[in-house]
Chains A and B, each alone.
Chain A
Amino acid sequence: MIEASGLKKTYRSKSGPVHALAGMDLSVPRGTVKALLGPNGAGKTTVVKVLTTLIRPTEGTALVDGIDVLSNPKAARRIIGVSGQYAAVDENLTGFENLEMVGRLYHLSAREAKRRAQDLIEQFELTEAGNRPVKGFSGGMRRRIDLAGALVINPKVLFLDEPTTGLDPRSRLSLWGIIKNLVSDGTTLLLTTQYLEEADQLSDDIAVIDGGRVIAEGTADELKAQIGGHRVVVTLVNPADAGAAREILGRHGDGEATVGTDGRTVEVGVINGPRALQYVLGDLGQAGVELHDAGMRRPSLDDVFLKLTGRHAENTDENVPAEKENAK
């Protein structure tokens, strides 16, 4: 359904060439959801732009539903729906007018475009934004209008570039609900994200990308098996216990335990989270190690990265992306 191979995109910049894509291969079977998981600058937006006909790669081939997007972009545009990283809505138009315009430009009849816009307004709970210019609405609302814009036709293939980045947790959950619904309807979806949890929740298959290429691929479970399903984290009262705690965590973990820079946080990846936590707590208690805090957490993109590349993912998580959305 989506088949890309050997995609390269090189930008020239003052500080030398930037390889935004460095030979990326992707394959998304019909009716499945693939998440591209990677930190800022990994090449997620670039590959989505190539597949959605916005930019031409320096090298490589890309097929969407059997259509060569490089030689026949017009045909590809008739069957894809796109919601880019930053909501592409017209601030001066109402939510309804935005959707109606998109419908007209997909060449629905005037009546059909209106009807479809109205349906989407209702389904996406956009009634509030339906009759007022988008200007002044929250990032979450814009994002929903933009997503609705991607669904004006029943796209055979849908692309969502960081659909929830910069949203508050409530809007994120609501958007996840919408996306899960779409997926149950059998749409082929390529989605990018910086959050492992999001990839896990929404996709059948994850490709971890870095430096413009895929560095690991598999189902969420397969990836988790690689990096350890959960992480057990304990905070010590006394940093002097760090060595002992590290030994005990390592005993029950899947790999070496690490001590954080504060000297008091010790953690390890584990396969069976709850059981490992029980053992760890038991052994720590026997060894007389006093704990300030103890628990389990899901691995983050950073953990995946550390495991796969031996270095931390830069710029991940909540900090970066909210700005541009608000700046507009």
Chain B
Amino acid sequence: MSVLAPENRQARPAPEPGAASMWLSDGWTVTKRNLTKLKRSPDMLVFAVLQPIMFVLLFSQIYGGSIQVQGTDYTQYLMAGIFAQTVIFGSTFSGSAMAQDLKDGIIDRFRTLPMSSSAVLVGRTNSDLVLNGISMLIMMATGFVVGWRVNAPFSSFLAGIGLLLLFSYAFSWVMALLGMSVKSPEVINNASFMILFPLTFISNAFVQSQTLPAPLEAFANWNPVSALVQAARELFGNVGSVPTPDAWPMQNAVPTVLIGAILMLLIFVPLCIRKFASISSR
């Protein structure tokens, strides 16, 4: 038995592909690997699908009767909040998955291969974008069933989806950096609960910020989650006659989210790539 490939069938890489095609092909290879993982251990997928359905039903059918929103029906108001909450939590998966890969040692394998230095991160954030997209579709379908309607042109509807996904994609990079910086995946899960729950609940996601006590109201109006919710609400035409709070990010929600997402990408993509170049399991 000879373990090496025979000389005439050299299994040595061809001349190195160009940087761009290498980036694309490596990124795709890793994305495919992550998606296979989702398919094979579907607990994450089930969670990503069931959780938003539960939230939609819980809030619209159970709390819906007792939460009053001035000027519109609660289900219309609610959906943007649930979309935002779901994609934000969905993005935290990028962090725990990076931490898990690091712990499993597979990152060490990747880092000794001549692949593009951002491919693992690109593959990670891409596949989490797919996961978030699937969640979003399910949520929308559930929303339609319970009476949610888009009161805006189709292009605006698409822009709303695009904005939510852009934000979640950018946020995935933030979480990926965290995932590479902690000792275990559990830390990410715990930290995101501790930080993201208050952020989504002290916001305009489920209630009008005006109904919150004064200090919380101010916090909610400047909370980035609120801007995302407000932007999605506007683009889906679900604002109705609810007054927009008098704070800059609320008055300019769409630009706020766009700028925020672009800034996150500009800052965290390079930080992630730099961090990736030095991590290794213990």
Contacts and interface: CB of A to CB of B under 8 A. Distances in A.
Contacts of B107: 88
B22 to A, nearest CB: 7
A54 B13 contact: no
Interface stretch (A105-113, A275-283, A301-309): A105-113
Contacts of A152: 11
A23 B109 CA distance: 26
Nearest to A106: B13
A208 to B, nearest CB: 24
Given A86-B105, A105-B26, A77 B280 contact: no
A119 B104 CA distance: 26
Instruction: Name which of B11, B22, B29, B281 has the most chain A CB atoms within 10 A of its CB.
Output: B11
A80 interface: yes
Contacts of A103: 11
A49 interface: yes
B36 A91 contact: no
A132 to B, nearest CB: 11
B129 to A, nearest CB: 19
A267 B12 CA distance: 52
A107 B16 contact: yes
Contacts of A258: none
Contacts of A89: 106, 109
A173 interface: no
Contacts of A107: 13-14, 16-17, 22, 25, 114-115
B66 interface: no
A11 to B, nearest CB: 10
Range of interface residues on B (Cβ < 8 Å): 35 or more
Contacts of B119: 105
A53 B4 contact: no
Nearest to B11: A116
B29 A101 contact: yes
Interface residues of A, number: 49
A106 B114 contact: yes
A87 B106 CA distance: 8
B231 to A, nearest CB: 36
Contact of B5 (A90, A91, A119): A119
A123 B5 CA distance: 10
A328 B106 CA distance: 12
Contact of B3 (A54, A77, A102, A182): A182
A89 B37 CA distance: 13
Given A54-B280, A55-B278, A86-B281, A108 B5 contact: no
A187 interface: yes
B33 interface: yes
A28 to B, nearest CB: 17
Interface string B18-33: 0000100110010001
B36 A97 contact: yes
B263 to A, nearest CB: 30
A101 B31 CA distance: 11
A118 to B, nearest CB: 12
A52 interface: yes
A215 interface: no
Interface in B117-161: 119
Interface string A74-106: 100110101010111111110001000111111
B3 A181 contact: yes
A153 B12 contact: yes
Interface in B83-107: 104-107
Nearest to A53: B112
Nearest to A186: B4
A56 B105 CA distance: 18
A296 to B, nearest CB: 34
B2 A112 contact: no
A77 B4 contact: no
Most buried by B among A82, A102, A103, A107: A107
A89 B109 CA distance: 8
A181 B105 CA distance: 27
B10 A154 contact: yes
Contact of A90 (B14, B25, B37): B37
A78 B109 contact: no
B195 interface: no
A240 B11 CA distance: 66
B62 interface: no
A31 interface: no
A242 interface: no
Interface of B: 1-5, 10-14, 16-17, 22, 25-26, 29, 33, 36-37, 40-41, 104-115, 119, 278, 280-281
8 contacts: A52-B112, A55-B280, A106-B114, A107-B22, A107-B25, A108-B14, A119-B5, A152-B11
Interface of A: 49, 52-56, 74, 77-78, 80, 82, 84, 86-93, 97, 101-109, 112, 116, 119-120, 123-124, 133, 146, 149, 151-154, 178, 181-182, 185, 187, 328
Given A78-B16, A89-B109, 10 more contacts: A49-B280, A54-B112, A77-B113, A78-B13, A84-B105, A84-B108, A105-B115, A146-B109, A152-B11, A181-B3
